[in-house]
Amino acid sequence: MNDKNAGIYDESQIQVLEGLEAVRKRPSMYIGSTGSRGLHHLVFEVVDNSIDEAMAGFCTFMQVIINKDNSVTVIDNGRGIPVKEHPQQKKSALEVVLTILHAGGKFGGEGYKVAGGLHGVGVSVVNALSEWLEVEVKRDGEIYTQRYERGAPVTPLTIKGKTKKTGTAITFYPDREIFEEIVYDFQFLSQRLRELAFLNKGITITAEDLRDEETRKEVFNFEGGISSFVSFLNKNKETFPKKPIYIEKERDNCWVETALQYNTGFSETIYSYANNIRTQEGGTHELAFKSALTRLINDHARRLGVLKENQDNLQGEDIREGITGIISVKILNPQFEGQTKTRLGNTEVRGIVESVLTEEVGAFLDQNPAITRKICEKALQASRAREAARKARELTRRKNALEISHLPGKLADCASRDPSESELFLVEGDSAGGSAKQGRDRHFQAILPLRGKILNVEKARLDKILNNEEIRTLITALGTGIGNEFNIHKLRYHRIIIMTDADVDGSHIRTLLLTFFFRYMEPLVSRGNIYIAQPPLFKVSKSKKTYYLYREAELENLMSKIGRQGTSVQRYKGLGEMNPEQLWDTTLNPKSRTILRVAMQDTIIANNVFTLLMGDKVEPRRKFIEDHAREVRNLDI
């Protein structure tokens, strides 16, 4: 948001709230954790400050560098942190910003009109948690520098030269006394930086990794803003209109930006942001986006005669089938609510976004009747499919009601009714399913054998999905319902463990299941309820001893230890080759098994990956698989 007249900032507006001792004592209170998340949080905290400068209209360029020595540098061409003496504190404003909690100028005063950074704890927290931090400020014609260690200044503020430029460069080395390990994930950093470049159009952000011999550099600059974001999300899909519908408008101190485009798929992808923060739990801006769109499309569907007089209105979910949309707002005092503080609560935003979208998207639809008709017709088809799905669901409900148990017959349920201790194994094939049923601990382990391939949900509509026997069984067993009706509190097992053979078919079935969970039961994936079993690859016996090996490489190792003489090696081709006891020992028993938890770092990337893996286009899929073939052991999606 360009707001250069946000009031004149001066040193006195920086408010002093708290010292840094508390931060070092309880780092997690300020940055969430002292693990990898917290470490990356440090970087984003500094980045957010530069982004704030950009939102205020003063910064067009920033550079993030992971240095060879594991320190991180963030450079921007903003106004530079003020350096004059702070009237109350009797030290430079720079020192106040770096040593006093919440002194960034964002809290109180007129300093910043738009403050991003969900946590917004300020650079002082980064300083407190760094072994050392060096800052360079270009401002008022001079270049100033100062060095800090563990939050305290160790050199005076020094002028080291003259310049006509302005800006801030901060380099910090995270404290090894505080962080478990100093290992940055360049991919993760650059993903967020790319997102920030989409959300702040025109800004140039570079990400550099100088740690390895082979250095990496990415440059992000999107003149199209979130329109480029939608194109990015829709890449490798067939889309309409060709270019996303794009709107930006300021009204009543609220900057509204939206972009949307349809693809020929069936899932709904809507991301909302407030002040650059992803509002995962939605909020007033997202509600407004949805209701404006629903009303507009219904109006046009009637006007174009796609909807006849005697037909009911299209529902929002029908209109959003196959949509990729972004709504981003920038406002003065964002109120974040909800469990994870990622739901925008500002009530005034709703009316503003709704009126801007009604006018502007409305104008686009008026001017592009062919596209509008296509959207209306797609929505109508979606509504027919929804109706068919409802009937299919009702049919299964009625069928269930006639049975004694509501649970599918194939499911060997566990005795426990406590979901937190219960596990559900999804087992490939009836024969392995049989062994698992015999080998399990029936108190807390349930088994559901899956026969053959399950449906590729990326290529089918809900009605067809619900007609698929395997999927219906799975939904009933889990108890949560799917899509909009999904209810995590009804989940019957907190661990859902996918157990397939270690071959191509097995990994295909696993991907199909993951796709289904991601598209229709997403919270299971993001909350970490999904696991992958690790059955052994080899059984090695010598004398009376048995070894189970889980990796190819372990075999050579073991052989060189115990010798080949009198040793028998059995390679398991499938789960079916193990008898119940073996299956218990190697794969089921919590005391001896390994299971991998499926983690999701970034839904945006996951979305693209699933489209690639399970969608229509063959060439990009082949390329992706070739590019990633060596990373297959890394289950982060």
Interface residues toward ligand 0RA, by CB under 6 A: 9, 49-50, 53, 76, 78-79, 81-82, 97, 104-105, 111, 123, 168, 170
Q: Comparing C-alpha atoms, which of 266, 295, 299 is closest to residue 369?
A: 299
Whole-number Å distance between alpha carbons of 335 and 619: 45
Cα distance between the two ends of the chain: 33
Distances 609 to 271, 297, 518, 602, 633 between C-alpha atoms, Å: 17, 30, 11, 11, 16
Whole-number Å distance between alpha carbons of 27 and 124: 12
Tell me how crowded residue 401 is: count the other CB atoms within 10 A of its CB.
8
**CB closer to ligand 0RA, 123 vs 450:** 123
**CB closer to ligand 0RA, 49 vs 234:** 49
**CB closer to ligand 0RA, 207 vs 323:** 207
CA angle at 81 for the pair 78 and 85, rounded to the nearest 5°: 150
**CB closer to ligand 0RA, 123 vs 497:** 123
- Least Cβ distance, residue 127 to ligand 0RA (angstroms): 11
Distances 179 to 22, 48, 133, 209 between C-alpha atoms, Å: 16, 21, 16, 20
Whole-number Å distance between alpha carbons of 281 and 261: 22
**CB closer to ligand 0RA, 63 vs 372:** 63
Residue in the block written with tokens 């006849």: 308
Whole-number Å distance between alpha carbons of 556 and 566: 16
Pairing outcome for strands 167-174 and 130-139: antiparallel
- Least Cβ distance, residue 159 to ligand 0RA (angstroms): 18
What does the block give as tokens for 264?
């020929």
**CB closer to ligand 0RA, 127 vs 500:** 127
**CB closer to ligand 0RA, 8 vs 629:** 8
**CB closer to ligand 0RA, 206 vs 607:** 206
Distances 126 to 15, 54, 63 between C-alpha atoms, Å: 18, 20, 17
Whole-number Å distance between alpha carbons of 204 and 63: 8
- Least Cβ distance, residue 80 to ligand 0RA (angstroms): 6
- Least Cβ distance, residue 341 to ligand 0RA (angstroms): 23
- Least Cβ distance, residue 166 to ligand 0RA (angstroms): 8
Question: Is the distance from CB of 411 to CB of 442 less than 8 angstroms?
Answer: no
Contacts of 305 (CB under 8 A, 6+ apart): none
Q: 3-state SS of the chain: helix, strand, coil percent to 5?
A: 40, 25, 35
Strand order in the sheet with 538-542: 545-549, 538-542, 567-571
Q: Comparing C-alpha atoms, which of 134, 78, 128, 79 is closest to residue 103?
A: 128
- Least Cβ distance, residue 610 to ligand 0RA (angstroms): 37
- Least Cβ distance, residue 137 to ligand 0RA (angstroms): 8
Question: Is the distance from CB of 46 to CB of 170 less than 8 angstroms?
Answer: yes
10 Å CB burial of residue 578 (0-12, 13-18, 19+) is buried
**CB closer to ligand 0RA, 332 vs 537:** 332
- Least Cβ distance, residue 105 to ligand 0RA (angstroms): 4
**CB closer to ligand 0RA, 109 vs 479:** 109
**CB closer to ligand 0RA, 105 vs 283:** 105
Contacts of 612 (CB under 8 A, 6+ apart): 236, 620, 621, 624
- Least Cβ distance, residue 98 to ligand 0RA (angstroms): 9
Whole-number Å distance between alpha carbons of 431 and 55: 60
Q: Which residues pair with 209 in a beta bridge?
A: 66, 216
Residue 324 per-residue DSSP state: E
- Least Cβ distance, residue 208 to ligand 0RA (angstroms): 18
Chain centre distance of CA 231: 18
Q: Is 567 helix (H, G, I), strand (E, B) or coil?
A: strand
- Least Cβ distance, residue 111 to ligand 0RA (angstroms): 6
Which residues have a catalytic role annotated? Answer: 428, 501, 503, 505
